Structure 1
Amino acid sequence: MPVPAPPAVPDDPTADSPAARRREQRGWYVYDWANSAFYTTIISVFLGPYLIPVARTAACARDFPTVAAETCARDFDKLAAAHPGLGYVDVLGADVRPAAFFGLTLTIAVFLQIVFLPIVGALADHTGRKRELLGAFAYVGALATMGLYFVEGDRYLLGGTLFVVANLAYGSSVVVYDSFLPQISTPDERDAVSSRGWAIGYLGGGLLLALNLVLYLQHESLGLSEGMSVRISMMSAGLWWATFTIVPLLRLRNRPVPAHEGTALRSVAGSFRQLGRTLAELRRYPLTLLFLVAYLIYNDGIQTVIGNSAAFASEALKLSKTVQISAILMVQFVAFFGALLLGLLARRYGTKRTVLASLVVWTVIVVAALYVQEGQATQFYLMALAIAIVLGGTQALSRSLFSQVIPKGREAEYFSLLQISDKGSAFIGALTVTIALQLTNSYRMAMVSMIVFFVVGFVLLALVNLPKAIRDAGNEVPHRI
């Protein structure tokens, strides 16, 4: 007589019917569609170029009150150079150059994420209230983003504060969002689910960015000032985020967790203790740690290439802003198909092999930077096309692999470690670019210097015995990995 299978544990996705899993997965995809608007419209395109002139206006009012506002804005760098000690804005008692203000807000935002995200992950796992936390962080971020509409004149501090809040809420919501992945998909479904979510995110972020760029480029014919078109675009990102977050909140559901302290204060204290155990126990999973290090290295190369693409286009290739913007849009939409394509390749050839192959493509891309000719927009578009094909798939499949090598019931904690390690290591790529520019004064060589990240990441990932890492974490090994 056959022995009956043991009942599925509460957070085991096989406990749900395929139809129930698909319902949650579809809701989960929509959150990527929702939050990608913040990254594309706010971080990638509009906020930095808008916030710096706002800070410059404040510096003009403070240090050059006798100079006409338009004249000061136009000749600000000359005025600051002619008057040492002037041309600054005040940030918590420190004098900061307007050009450095957005970079400062980014630094503060990243630092706060490094401090705060582990608490978010531990709290999500400890309380089990992931849906409520996802909604809270999403709407705090969306409201702060909508508040950027009111940043005008000399309100640089308002803009910086709202961005820091929105960025912290964005990172926190992504930690909770990612931690749903192992709960809504079986091991064999995970690559496809992660890839679809990432692809839909590119599509949603790209669609809103396209609409906002039309508004920005046609602002005069619509009777709007340039500043007003930017403010409306930034507000629209918050509205988009808030509106589409409704869908995952209706579809996703919490899973039971072991009994824990009832009060919020005790839950936070328990979260800290649990986080400490996670850091200590990571030594028990050396292959998980090796994968994490490999991912951080090659992902740092990816983020640095993306972050310096606009500077490469303008400084090394002397291409116009129109070419840069159109390339950004192309990447957003092609990355949608690229993520799906790499998901299909992973299903056929294995996830690890697909990621390794994508790292070879990344290596070819950065080497090609040496040969793209100045003023050749077509060659730059081809380079951007290659990036778009591997961009989303590399990250989506890496997220799927990471979800396989972490223990059940600790998903949010481990994904918070992934997020903060990603933020904390980001300076290495930036430092490498800075050193390359200092030594060579060439953005081509700066891009080529990224080859070390892809080669080292490739080698470390190749050394990871994924089936053993998955078994060591107590998970089922998929049929193809």
Structure 2
Amino acid sequence: MSTPAVSPVAATEQERRREQRAWYFYDWANSAYVTTTATVLFVPYLSSVARAAACPDVPADEVCTTDLSVLGLPVAAGSLALYVVTASTLLSALLLPVVGAIADRSPRPKHLLAGFAWVGSLAAASMFLVTGTNWQLGAALQFVANICLGASLVVYDAILVQIATPDERDRVSSRGWALGYLGGGLLLAVNLALVTMGGSLGLDAGQTVRISLLSAGIWWGVFTLIPFLGLRNRPPVRLAPVERGNLVTESFGQLWQTLKHLRGYPQTLLFLAAYLFFNDGIQTVIGSSSLYGQAELGFNESQLIITILLVQFVAFGGALLFGRMAARIGAKRSVLYGIVMWTGVVAVGFVLPEGQFALFLALAVGIGLVLGGTQALSRSLYSQLVPLGRQAEYFSLYQAAERGTSWFGTFLFGLMFQLTDSYRPAILSLLVFFVVGGLLLVKVDVRKGIADAGNVQPRKV
């Protein structure tokens, strides 16, 4: 479905730079939740709360063999948080495309971005209230926060097309990811200090975790003000003709038109399929790393926070490094090199000996180098393949596989644990996602996909 190549960016370079700086700060804002809550603290914390409900009389160092009853189904306490991520993502697969269609037709996308962010940050901050055996409240808040994070990122990613030219997007996307890792790392450092020094302040371990969860929610909400104030709303462009009605009915009509014409953008869809696989692997590694380190390798909470903190700061440099690599060899080849590195990370993690913290830190350095780069360049590469006028709607499909909202990986990881009572087979099973994703990405003809979408060709792809 080839159309004349156009660029939606009409601002001067100075105006673009100003908006780009404001846009970066949503990565800074939401990364506090992604890092402190979703990656480090909440999965093991909710697992401990669920375990206390399932096995109240079993010591913490003994195996809990009693399952929780969730909607009438038996669920292992150690799998609960992973299944909540799975359930929220399945719902996202239905809701986010509609959110994207609404965003494409809305004249106030930055208001949508902020609205979803502030509801999500409220749910994240309310995790402070999860105590004792109240796993139901924890699961509900995790569910809402994940849905709102995905919805806000649909709008956020689509705005990249409006504020950066095709040749700027690798740089802009990489800087956003880098700033996100820096912000998430700084808050995590504060939380590390709180967890390690909580006893001297008269706080027990549970209280320090809950205060950290509260801080992440507040951080997310407060720093969302910067993109909200710094970005400008733009009228929709090149909308698909649909039956007139209110915003919601028009959005469903646009979504239906897009679904009918998906076959007209085969390279875009092939990239999306590749991303679905390799990013599910990445997100499952990120989301399950603290649980794996605690339950399988025997590290305590402070060690896990140190490890993730190291990943954050290394990822800051890694994102910038991959941005420069893309300028030399193109985004596609850079992402493929990153996928190869991810397969090595998973293989090493599977054989890592229990209790060897120095080796765990070395593995964290490898994760940090490749983490930000693959994610940042995947976002900018996909933006080149998205048809103008449907960017938020297409990014809604992208976000269905984005951080904290992957379903195949978390489901397989949780299922493997439930079947084997070990996280090692679960971590090894993730190799399939990187192998399949990499093979699909090799087949993507990026230049043809850009032409089919009617977009301007960048110098390097």
* TM-score, with structure 1 as normaliser: 0.84
Is 1:19 aligned to residue 14 of structure 2?
Answer: yes
Task: Find the partner of 1:290 among 270, 295, 298.
Answer: 270
Q: Distance in 1 between matches of 2:346 and 2:64?
A: 37
Stretch of structure 1 that moved more, 311-320 or 183-192: 311-320
For the structure 1 residues 300 and 448, does the alpha-carbon distance in structure 2 shift closer, same or farther, using more than 3 Å as the test? same
CA gap of 1:396–1:424, structure 2 versus 1, over 3 A, is closer
Contact 2:89 2:405 in 1 (8 A): no
1:244 counterpart (220, 223, 247) = 223
Question: Could you tell me whether the CA contact under 8 Å between 2:240 and 2:257 is conserved in 1?
Answer: no
Preserved contact between residue 130 and residue 254 of structure 1 (Cα < 8 Å) = yes
Distance 1:375 1:98 in 2: 23
Counterpart check, 1:405 vs 2:385: yes
1:140-171: CA deviation from partner (whole Å, max 9, x where unpaired): 11122222223334543333322222221111
Q: Which residue of the other structure, out of 102, 127, 131, is the alignment partner of 1:152?
A: 131
Note closer, same or farther for the CA distance 1:425–1:223 as it changes in structure 2 (3 Å cut): closer
Q: Are positions 1:162 and 2:158 aligned together?
A: no
Tell me, in whole angstroms, the C-alpha distance in 2 between the residues paired with 1:283 and 1:390: 32
- Of the two, which has the highest radius of gyration? 1
2:335 maps to which residue?
355
Which one is further off, 143-152 or 277-286? 143-152
User: Shift of the alpha carbon at 1:195?
Assistant: 0.5
- Paired amino acid for 1:167: N
CA distance in 2 between counterparts of 1:439 and 1:80 reads 14
Q: Percent identity?
A: 51
Following superposition, the deviation at residue 365 of structure 1 comes to 2.8
**TM-score scaled by structure 2?**
0.88
Change (3 A) 1:139 1:353: same
Q: Is the 8 A contact 1:260 1:267 kept in 2?
A: no
Give the corresponding residue for 1:33.
28
Higher relative contact order at CA 8 Å, sep ≥6: structure 1 or structure 2? 2
C-alpha distance in 2 between matches for 1:410 and 1:399: 15
Tell me the equivalent position of 1:203. 182
1:468 and 1:130 map into 2 onto residues whose CA distance is: 29
* Correspondent of 1:44 among 39, 47, 60: 39
2:89 to 89, 110, 116: 110
Q: Is the 8 A contact 1:209 1:329 kept in 2?
A: yes
Secondary structure of the residue that 1:212 maps to in structure 2? Answer: helix
Distance (whole Å) between structure 2 residues aligned to residue 458 and residue 158 of structure 1: 38
1:79–1:412 Cα change, 3 Å: closer
Match of 2:373 in 1: 393
Residues in 2 aligned to 1:190 and 1:374: alpha-carbon distance in whole angstroms: 42
Q: Is the 8 A contact 1:124 1:133 kept in 2?
A: yes
Which deviates more, 250-259 or 138-147? 250-259
User: How far apart in 1 are the matches of 2:404 and 2:142?
Assistant: 19
Q: Which residue of 2 aligns with 1:215?
A: 194
For the residue of structure 1 that corresponds to 2:218, the secondary structure is helix
Q: 2:250 aligns with which of 249, 252, 270?
A: 270
Count residues with an aligned counterpart: 454
**Which is worse superposed, 272-281 or 47-56?**
47-56
**1:326 equivalent in structure 2:** 306
For residues 411 and 122 of structure 2, the distance between their equivalents in structure 1, rounded to whole angstroms, comes to: 34
Residue number in structure 2 paired with 1:464:
444
Hey, what's the Cα distance between the residues in 2 that align with 1:155 and 1:239?
A: 22
C-alpha offsets along residues 190-234 of structure 1, whole Å, 9 cap, x if unaligned? 000000101111111111111112112211211223332222211
Counterparts of 1:371 and 1:93, CA distance in 2: 36
The CA distance in 2 between the partners of 1:273 and 1:424, in whole Å, is 28
Matches of 2:185 and 2:95, distance apart in 1: 29
| C-alpha contact (below 8 Å) 2:267/2:444 kept by paired residues | yes
Alignment of 1:54-73 (within 5 A): 54-55=49-50, 72=56
How much does 1:465 deviate? Answer: 1.4
Query: What letter is aligned with 1:162?
Result: L
Distance in 2 between residues matched to 1:50 and 1:439, nearest whole Å: 22
Counterpart residue number, 1:4: none
Matches of 1:338 and 1:417, distance apart in 2: 26
Q: d(CA) in 1 for partners of 2:311 and 2:97?
A: 31
1:131 aligns with 2:110: yes
2:155 — aligned with what? 176
Q: Which consecutive unaligned segments of at least 5 residues does structure 2 have?
A: none
* Unaligned 5+ runs, structure 1: 1-7, 61-71
Relative to structure 1, the CA distance from residue 445 to residue 270 in structure 2 (aligned partners, 3 Å threshold; closer, same or farther) is same
Whether the 8 Å CA contact 1:127–1:260 is kept in 2: the answer is no
Residue of structure 2 equivalent to 1:281: 261
**AA in 2 matched with 1:306:** I
